[in-house]
Amino acid sequence: MRKKAEYRGVVTAKGSTRLTHDSQETALSDLRGARLYSIGPLVATLDEFVGEAELHGLMMGLSSIRQAAAQVTGVMGQGVDPRRVADSAKIPHGSLPVLDAVATRIAKIFGLPVSHCESPELISYGVGGLFKRHFDAALGGAMYKAPADAAEHSQRVLTAILYLNDEFAGGETVFPRLDLTLRPKAGRLALWQNTKAGDVAVHPLSMHEGRPVQSGQKQIVSFWFRNKPVQ
């Protein structure tokens, strides 16, 4: 029987809330106002994580970034994959201050240094754009590392997606094994665990997909956090 998403309501604690039932690598802090859908793995959303004025500034900064066909990171490296139909661009830390500020706030929520965050990725999905069922973390316990990359082998333990707009149809983020659908909303942050508690093993319920866009264009920024520094 398919496991239903575990609905946990809204976190309303006045102070900082840290969920340390898992491990310090997957603990979340400052979750006031978050809606929790699942605890194992943790899946949550934060509405108005980026306000209207900040979102406008972010969109202005991102408008000049040139995108190319989105790639998928596999065991042997990166490449275009028919499972992912989108355009994307990596945005190096330090190149867009407003985006750096967002990444820093997300790092605070995750309880990790921002140095654990990969370069954020701007992703655009046109009509028919999608990302079929996949895991963000590597099944082997460590993401592909280019020979010239000085950073240690590491795993994507946490993901955050910032929805930049909502003037489109379709494009939902779906966790099929949790029977959970997250609907895009401008300024909303969706976040989840990719690995089991205190481990680098992929959490089997973290499988997710980006449903096809039916009309308009969906734009998001993805933030992937590793268990070790990548900067």
Model confidence, pTM: 0.84
Query: Which among 9, 14, 28 is positioned nearest to 157, based on CA atoms?
Result: 28
Buried b (16+ CB within 10 A) or exposed e, 138-162: beeebbeeeeeeeeebbbbbbbbbb
pLDDT-based confidence at residue 28 (cuts at 50, 70, 90): low
pLDDT-based confidence at residue 231 (cuts at 50, 70, 90): confident
Res. 222: pLDDT tops 50: yes
Contact 134, 81 (CB under 8 A): no
User: Quick check: is 212 in a domain?
Assistant: yes
Least confident stretch, 71-75, 119-123, 128-132 = 71-75
Domain that holds residue 106: 9-62+91-144+152-226
CATH number of the domain that residue 101 is part of: 2.60.120.620
User: Quick check: is 73 in a domain?
Assistant: no
User: Quick check: is 4 in a domain?
Assistant: no
Total domains in the chain come to 1
Mean pLDDT of 129-156: 76
User: Quick check: is 77 in a domain?
Assistant: no
Contact 118, 230 (CB under 8 A): yes
What is the Cα–Cα distance from 156 to 142, expressed in whole angstroms? 8
Res. 121: pLDDT tops 90: yes
User: Quick check: is 190 in a domain?
Assistant: yes
User: Quick check: is 80 in a domain?
Assistant: no
User: Quick check: is 84 in a domain?
Assistant: no
User: Quick check: is 186 in a domain?
Assistant: yes
